[in-house]
A and B are shown apart, each in its own frame.
Chain A
Amino acid sequence: MTAVHGKGVAELSAALRARELSSVEVTRALLERAATHQSNLNAFISISAESALAEAAQADARLQAQQGGPLTGVPIAHKDIFCTRGERTTCGSRMLSNFISPYDATVVERLRAAGAVMLGKTNMDEFAMGSSNETSYFGPVRNPWDRARVPGGSSGGSAAAVAARLTPAATATDTGGSIRQPASLCGVTGLKPTYGRVSRFGMIAFASSLDQAGLLTRSAEDAAMLLGAIAGFDERDSTSVELPVPDYRAALEHPLKGLKVGVLKEFFDRGLDPAVEQHLRAALEQLRSQGAVIKDVSLPHLPLSVPTYYVVAPAECSSNLARFDGVRYGYRCEKPRDLLDLYQRSRGEGFGAEVKRRIMTGTYVLSAGYYDAFYLKAQRVRQLISNDFEQAFHEVDVVIGPTTPTPAFELGAKTSDPVTMYLNDIYTIGANLAGLPAISVPCGMVQGLPVGMQIIGPHFAEERLLNVAHRYQRESDWHRQVPPGYA
């Protein structure tokens, strides 16, 4: 029998409902494991042992009374970007290192209502700005496959915690690849839903035309279970879309026969590690053997997605982060001389280097005389990229490519040049710019390190993505690999 920590969401759900395990027993085992591995992975910013055990006891009572739903008593972790009522929510920043949220994010509220138990808050790049988890004020997270390497970012803590079996699943957010890139580097499943599919109320804003909440799990099936709980309209998020939420689990087994898969030419053109490419080709072959029809598609403007993103995202970040002024909440500098000094030093000391770099980039591209040349130009190119995808989806049902150009890199390898770091998101940014759903699933190992396959679909095609990912996972075992020492 699999140890408690080896079980995913679906397995735990079944065991809890059959009363083979109690939620308290599962929660206690995972809390202990999370605490033990904190010193070697640093995956958590806060572990809420006391409240988790209380929630687990409540869940057990409900299960005992046969009132529980599928997620009752299942432990999860939240990325520390989601506000959790009465608990510290830091966003990985000194700016919010003492912030106690007065309310729950909608994602947190919905999982709470579904009976899930919150183990704690996971580490992340500061304000979700980073691709390596090295910008966190609380120190870097380490990749459980090789602790000298990064877990990816910005949801690095969530991905490392799921990979190391500290939690069966974790929430995460994705602005330019922050769910899919760490999923690829840590060997887990990462789903970024369509823009507007999941409410962002209570999710600390980075770039509001790109941000979306999603999940890191051990399988597409687990992601389907959790997405059903967090998706759906919320009047408190003005970008939330009023569409019904399908039963994502019901579509998982749908056969792939006749599915039209587009292989993204631009993703195989430059910079892709040949070993990663080989695994991808094998994965495509596996889908073909299940009846999928593979054809090449071209998105000619996609190579411009990194420069487009690094105008749009910093511009929106400079605006969103203007709210941190040292007055109403957050860090305040010592002994301000006057109001201006209070603003400038509170922000200068409260934000880390990467956040300041992006705020300044954004301030520059929005400043008088540059707005048209940078910001409006980028929004026009963004439209071209979006049109390319729309065109492609007239011909194919999903497009597939790598999630990252290489497996995980070493800590410190890309910190000296911001542009080198930014290029890590070259394959993931397109989906954010066009607001599309995308999923990364493990599809191979390169020198002991996992790599991911990315499946991108049309708007609101999460069912199809989960279906393809699940059918792939039924015939492969890359997603079942456990980092040595964490089995």
Chain B
Amino acid sequence: MTLTRSDIEKIASLARLALTEEEIPVYVEGLSRILAMVGELQRANTSAVEPMAHPLPGQRQRLRADAVSETDRHEQYQRNAPQVEAGLYLVPRVIE
């Protein structure tokens, strides 16, 4: 399977990744090779198999009670934020 430059640009845009001009051909080649290797899967006959939903047979995702379990620690968490003002995360203006 061979991808093109425009395929990579589209994937990068979906993944919200800015690529440099130099990176694009590297990913065109790398992803093409990976998809060719992954293409081997088509050999397997899976017509009678359900997609695996959990690595442990019979296990289901547990749900917790819908109750408050955390205290408010936003000040502590926001110490890791690139830009904060008055307890709010700052981003560039979204609505002009």
Contact = CB atoms under 8 A, between A and B. Distances in A.
Given A310-B38, A376-B51, A318 B15 contact: yes
A331 to B, nearest CB: 8
B18 A349 contact: yes
A386 interface: yes
Interface residues of B, number: 56
A381 B33 CA distance: 20
A363 B15 contact: yes
B67 interface: no
A194 B18 CA distance: 38
B37 A306 contact: yes
Contacts of B53: 379
Contacts of A380: 44, 46, 49-52
Nearest to B37: A419
A361 to B, nearest CB: 6
B37 A310 contact: yes
Interface string B1-42: 000000110011111111110010011001101110111111
B91 A345 contact: no
A321 to B, nearest CB: 9
B92 A367 contact: no
A459 B56 contact: yes
A428 to B, nearest CB: 15
A118 B19 CA distance: 38
Contacts of A93: none
Interface of B: 7-8, 11-20, 23, 26-27, 30-31, 33-35, 37-44, 46, 49-57, 59, 61-64, 73, 76-77, 79-83, 89, 91-94
Nearest to A418: B30
Given A363-B14, A381-B49, 5 more contacts: A307-B37, A338-B94, A360-B11, A364-B7, A384-B49
26 contacts: A99-B80, A102-B73, A195-B56, A196-B59, A209-B55, A238-B62, A304-B44, A307-B37, A307-B39, A325-B16, A332-B82, A344-B16, A348-B19, A356-B23, A357-B30, A360-B11, A360-B27, A380-B49, A380-B52, A384-B49, A390-B57, A417-B33, A418-B34, A419-B34, A434-B55, A459-B56
Interface in A187-204: 194-196
Contacts of A386: 52, 55
Contact of A419 (B7, B14, B33): B33
B53 to A, nearest CB: 8
A35 to B, nearest CB: 27
Interface string A322-364: 1001111111100011111111110111010100110111011
